Structure 1
Amino acid sequence: MERPKVEAKVAEKLGTLPKGTVLFVDDFLDYGSPESIKKALLRLKEKGLLVRLAHGIYLYPKIDKEFGTLFPSTEDIAKAIARRDKSRIVPTGIQALNALRLSTQVPMKVVFLTDGAARIVKVGKRTITFKKTSPKNLLPKGPISNLAIQALKTIGQNNVDDDTLKKLQTILEKEKKENILHDAKLAPAWINKILMQAIK
């Protein structure tokens, strides 16, 4: 009797969630054992109520009349995994450049620094890598200044042109001054200089 009951409870919970929510087995452990939840999620996927994004990761899909299932961004999936693991993450590389609109390239392989477990998650053709890092890299407070540090590290000191600097200065105007002051101290000297110029 347990199987239909667990499935019914999971389906009922789904009805209370916003469409587009990324879900895990852990979200339903109040309703049964991990094994019974896994089976219930698979059955709901077979019924078309859920979409399986990766091993143990599901989507309560939002359906658009024109575009069909609307899939979450790589960043949204990474944030959901970080929430589940109660860990912090920071986008790096092209992902950081993209978040600041300094690049239009949509990376298929993204890397996030984390204080959680190192792992690789494959979502369709996309790959999300969580790379264990030292706590210092996760100390920046400002969402924009944090991204700016990672973006500049990706570009490299000798490749930062005036156009990029101008764009960065404009973007950093939206960051709180105290965040920039705090985060600049954690950055390499050449990045510190660029961040400090934004608050002059």
Structure 2
Amino acid sequence: MSAISDKIMRRVRAKGRGWAFTPKDFIDFGTRGSVDMALSRLVKDGAIRRIGRGLYDYPRLHQKLGALSPDMDRIAQAVSSQIGDKLVPSGAAAANLLGLSTQVPAKATYATNGASRVKKVAGRTLSIKHARAPLIDNAPVRANAVLQAMVHFGRSNIDADMIDQLAKRLDDRDMKSLVSSRAQMPGWMGDIVLKIDAAMHG
């Protein structure tokens, strides 16, 4: 195994099974061409799996079933790094993540600050749509999911019960991101953020 392959596998193992990644994650190890060659060799050896164009994962293994399907959120993180746009769960996926809905969407949909597109990864469809709510930079996934869920439900459908539920689901870091980013949101969203904050700390 080449020195680059060795280094790549050390980083992959450190991240743990289930990690999805792109060649960009190893660009500090050498030229893009040498990283691509090392990744191809590792796929051939069965150490990692190619799940899409320029996308790989270190599959989770099951005793009886063998390699499991990659996790959609992990794939979305890798795609985000590949295309250079932010991706966060949107619509029904955001509502599900926050415990506001038990409905698991059939198609994984993510909001982005970039262009809308559809990607096929590991035999599944990743639907990426330009966000209708702002995406906050450097904010936790849950904080961004709150804004996407607000757009999904609509202003008139967010009641006190939902606000209480969100207050229970979020932590101080999520709340801090939301409160400090109120200037980026439509006024009604900013008002709901204040209500969630009050429910959390009231």
| Rounded Cα–Cα distance in structure 2 between residues aligned with 1:43 and 1:140 | 36
* RMSD of aligned alpha carbons: 3.3
Give the letter for the 2:162 counterpart.
Answer: T
1:63 is displaced (CA, Å) by 2.0
1:80 is displaced (CA, Å) by 2.2
Q: Are 1:22 and 2:20 counterparts?
A: yes
Contact 1:88 1:114 survives alignment (8 Å): yes
Report the counterpart of residue 8 of structure 1 in structure 2: 2
Give the letter for the 2:62 counterpart.
Answer: D
Contact 1:9 1:31 survives alignment (8 Å): no
Structure whose alpha-carbon radius of gyration is higher: 1
Distance 1:92 1:159, change over 3 A: same
Contact 2:22 2:78 survives alignment (8 Å): no
Query: How high is the TM-score relative to the length of structure 2?
Result: 0.72
Contact 1:111 1:128 survives alignment (8 Å): yes
1:104 is displaced (CA, Å) by 3.0
| Rounded Cα–Cα distance in structure 2 between residues aligned with 1:104 and 1:182 | 29
Give the letter for the 2:6 counterpart.
Answer: E
Equivalent positions of 1:64-75 (< 5 A) are 64-75=62-73
Contact 1:145 1:183 survives alignment (8 Å): no
Structure 1 residues without counterparts, runs of 5 or longer: 1-6
| Rounded Cα–Cα distance in structure 1 between residues aligned with 2:147 and 2:187 | 11
Equivalent positions of 1:78-157 (< 5 A) are 78-116=76-114, 118-132=116-130, 137-139=134-136, 142-143=139-140, 144-157=142-155
Contact 1:111 1:130 survives alignment (8 Å): yes
| Rounded Cα–Cα distance in structure 1 between residues aligned with 2:61 and 2:51 | 15
User: Which whole-Å deviations, capped at 9, do the CAs of 1:153-199 have from their partners, x for residues lacking one?
Assistant: 10112333443232123224544554332233333333222211122
1:50 is displaced (CA, Å) by 1.9
| Rounded Cα–Cα distance in structure 2 between residues aligned with 1:178 and 1:27 | 29
Aligned residues: 192
Q: Are 1:183 and 2:181 counterparts?
A: yes
1:117 is displaced (CA, Å) by 5.8
Report the counterpart of residue 198 of structure 1 in structure 2: 196
Distance 1:45 1:163, change over 3 A: same
Report the counterpart of residue 4 of structure 1 in structure 2: none
